[in-house]
Amino acid sequence: MKADCLPVVNASDQPHAHHKAGTKARVLLTSVFGPYGRDDQYGSRRLNPMELYHNQVTRTQGAFSLRMFHRSWGLMLIQANIAAPCTLLDFPTLDRFVAELQTRQYDIIGISSIIPNQNKVKKMCELIRQYQPEAEIIVGGHIANIPDLAQKIDADHVVRGEGVRWFRRYLGEDENQPLRHPMISSGIGTRILGVDVSVSEKPGDVAATIIPSVGCPLGCNFCSTSAMFGGKGKWVDFYRTGDELFDVMCQVEREMGVRSFFIMDENFLFHRRRALRLLELMEANEKSWSLDVFSSANVLRSYSIEQLIRLGISWVWMGIEGRDSQYAKLAGADTFELVKHLQSHGIRVLGSTIIALENHTPENIDEAIEHAVRHDTDFHQFMLYTPVPGTPLHKELSEKGLMKNESEFDPSDIHGQAILNYRHPALSDEQTAVIMPRAFNRDFEVNGPSVVRIVRTTLAGWKRHKNHADPCVRGRYAWEARELGTTFSALVAAAKLYYRRRPVMHAKMSALLRELHAEFGWKSRLWSLVGGRWLLGRIRKEEKRLSSGFSHEPPTFYERNEAVADRPELPLCRSTEPPAARPSPVSPVVVADESRETELVGV
């Protein structure tokens, strides 16, 4: 189908397209091609690597930066939930993608992408038309929010929103059948302090990812994820009840050997009834699980600290946004006190701050940065206030005539770390490009390496709750503290040596190391003595690698589902069985009124 008649549909829209081959159609799902952390003609940017932490959180922390990749979880979810033979090509190079088109025939090729990678999607569509002109091309992900994407790429379908239901209908399947959750390792290729941690990882070392819902009911005006799944008051539940969620987590625990879970849900604790039922089941079945979650400040405050501890909340990604921000999720919240309180119980906090809000000026921007830095969160994300297509903010600024024309910027540069796609009342692109690294540098300079902050908070939790009355709580804190006396002691010792010429930071590292020695005795002292110097050497080598232009790139993954019978040599994607507890249909949820929202939030 030509681009000028390309349909852009929401996943729940009717009527719906159907492929003539149905469940016999051969499907290829793919992410965009690499490399991802280098400047090139297709839109890759050194400032926008395929690494969440190094891209947006630990960007200027050098050898101390947490380096890791995350698989294309949406594609993995679709692959595990369609009956058609489906192959997944994740993180291919351009040559590898072309080779796949030249050697394997497909009826459907699906591409997932974010907005800055639209030039790569355009190139991939051209290559598909060249090598497999009969294949239907489907494009999804955040790129689908671009309103005029039809004029930019040559595809057959652009799908906004949740992809499992859309693909099932497209293939003639029952769209509401229960979901099979793929077995997902939350992070791959982890590298820190110049050490390739992934080489020594054992089963259970890395959290499994669980996706209970997609979309966010709070619907902040800048949030592209909320907009993608319907906007304020709407989301899609995969597991609506605590019973379903517990069943799936137990299956993943058994299959992957994990006891920690990264809960990929924009505001997991917002769904209070589901969360508290999960807590009941965890306690009844003596589960010492650790949960890493996203949550807004006011939703966090609606739970007691004892509930959070018993639920296993060990890491929280929380929006701080900015001083005097007007977002309801922060109304009345003392974020400084909340962060300090959570950390005192061993709950690591990743704070998120927006730069270039409407009220930011060259005169007050440093004050806004200091406001963020004073929180002393374990990690801190800084992102530019960016009106992404499809969001209420983009609509508002478009109506005011404040959005720039695309001739004024390259879409590949609108990734939230350098320039703006609209006319800010006080800040220029040249200023924001300087302000962003200044924010990261200030946080690093004042609060030190994030990996050391993690040690500090983990130690605080261990000391406070190692004798907790609940054996499950004690067990979780013991598991989380398992490396404090060994690897983490060596890490802090290396940081102490690294900062020997910076008195304030050196004193901070020394104080933390003394705490570790006092708590773990000779073991901590030995590891810090031997391991600290070894790690310092690795840090120095990593700094040289980075200064020479080293780009950390993910490996390529090539996998099949069970319906691919002619490729037994390929790794088989693994997934759970549908939950035994009354499975919910995979369908959108809409908050109809304030009473429903109150019931969910519990405030």
pLDDT digit string (tens) for 300-312?
Answer: 999 999 999 999 9
Distance CA 343, CA 300 (A): 13
Q: Is pLDDT at 594 greater than 50 in this prediction?
A: no
Average pLDDT rounded to a whole number, residues 418-425: 96
* Residue 433: inside a domain: yes
Q: What CATH number is attached to the domain comprising 99?
A: 3.40.50.280
- How high is the pLDDT of residue 321? 72
Q: Are residues 234 and 357 in the same domain?
A: yes
Per the CB < 8 A criterion, the answer to whether 497 and 532 are in contact is yes
* Residue 587: inside a domain: no
Which DSSP category does 583 fall into?
P
Q: Are residues 447 and 567 in the same domain?
A: no
* Residue 31: inside a domain: yes
Q: Are residues 192 and 272 in the same domain?
A: yes
Q: Are residues 259 and 316 in the same domain?
A: yes
Distance CA 335, CA 320 (A): 7
Q: Are residues 237 and 371 in the same domain?
A: yes
Q: Are residues 386 and 273 in the same domain?
A: yes
Q: Is pLDDT at 79 greater than 70 in this prediction?
A: yes
Q: Are residues 175 and 195 in the same domain?
A: no
For residue 322, give the amino acid letter: G
For residue 325, what pLDDT band results from cuts at 50, 70 and 90? low
End-to-end, the C-alpha distance of the chain in Å comes to 50
Q: In what order do the strands lie in the sheet with 188-192?
A: 67-69, 188-192, 195-196
Q: Are residues 100 and 198 in the same domain?
A: no
* Residue 356: inside a domain: yes
- Residue 237's DSSP bridge partners are 213, 587
Which DSSP category does 119 fall into?
H
pLDDT digit string (tens) for 91-140?
Answer: 999 999 999 999 999 999 999 999 999 999 999 999 999 999 999 999 99
Q: Are residues 144 and 244 in the same domain?
A: no
* Residue 590: inside a domain: no
Alpha helices in 9-93 (DSSP H): 52-56, 73-79
Structure tokens at 407: 């001739």
- How high is the pLDDT of residue 431? 97
- How high is the pLDDT of residue 148? 87
Residue % of the chain over a pLDDT of 90: 81
Structure tokens at 192: 């820190």
Q: Is pLDDT at 384 greater than 80 in this prediction?
A: yes
Q: Is pLDDT at 603 greater than 90 in this prediction?
A: no
pLDDT digit string (tens) for 237-264?
Answer: 999 999 999 999 999 999 999 999 999 9
- Mean pLDDT, the chain, as a whole number? 91
* Residue 17: inside a domain: yes
Average pLDDT rounded to a whole number, residues 148-174: 93
- How high is the pLDDT of residue 47? 87
Q: Is pLDDT at 583 greater than 60 in this prediction?
A: no
For residue 299, give the amino acid letter: V
- Residue 231's DSSP bridge partners are none
Residue % of the chain over a pLDDT of 70: 92
Distance CA 165, CA 583 (A): 15
Q: Are residues 285 and 404 in the same domain?
A: yes
- How high is the pLDDT of residue 590? 53
Which of 30-39, 295-304, 588-597 shows the lowest per-residue confidence on average (mean pLDDT)? Answer: 588-597
Q: Is pLDDT at 9 greater than 90 in this prediction?
A: no
Distance CA 477, CA 288 (A): 9
- How high is the pLDDT of residue 10? 58
* Residue 85: inside a domain: yes
For residue 585, what pLDDT band results from cuts at 50, 70 and 90? low
Q: Are residues 538 and 561 in the same domain?
A: no
Q: Which domain holds residue 422?
A: 188-463
Q: Are residues 239 and 156 in the same domain?
A: no
Q: What CATH number is attached to the domain comprising 295?
A: 3.80.30.20
Per the CB < 8 A criterion, the answer to whether 329 and 220 are in contact is yes
Which of 44-53, 94-103, 420-429 shows the lowest per-residue confidence on average (mean pLDDT)? Answer: 44-53
- Residue of 602, 603, 600, 480 lying closest to 237 (CA atoms): 600
pLDDT digit string (tens) for 434-458?
Answer: 999 999 999 999 999 999 999 999 9
What secondary structure does DSSP assign to 465-514, as a single string? HTT-SSHHHHHHHHHHTTTTTTHHHHHHHHHHHHTTT-HHHHHHHHHHHH
For residue 597, what pLDDT band results from cuts at 50, 70 and 90? very low
3-state secondary structure of 531: helix
How much is the pTM?
0.92
pLDDT digit string (tens) for 516-557?
Answer: 999 999 999 999 999 999 999 999 999 999 999 888 899 999
- Residue of 434, 422, 423 lying closest to 362 (CA atoms): 434
Distance CA 244, CA 248 (A): 6
Q: In what order do the strands lie in the sheet with 348-355?
A: 208-210, 260-263, 290-294, 313-321, 348-355, 379-384
Domain end residue (candidates: 547, 565, 592)? 547
Q: How many CB atoms lie within 10 A of CB 41?
A: 8
Q: In what order do the strands lie in the sheet with 213-214?
A: 213-214, 234-237, 587-590
* Residue 414: inside a domain: yes
H or E, element range at 355: strand 348-355
- How high is the pLDDT of residue 90? 98
- How high is the pLDDT of residue 2? 41
Q: How many CB atoms lie within 10 A of CB 399?
A: 9
Which of 17-26, 68-77, 312-321, 331-340 shows the lowest per-residue confidence on average (mean pLDDT)? Answer: 331-340
Domain count, the chain: 3
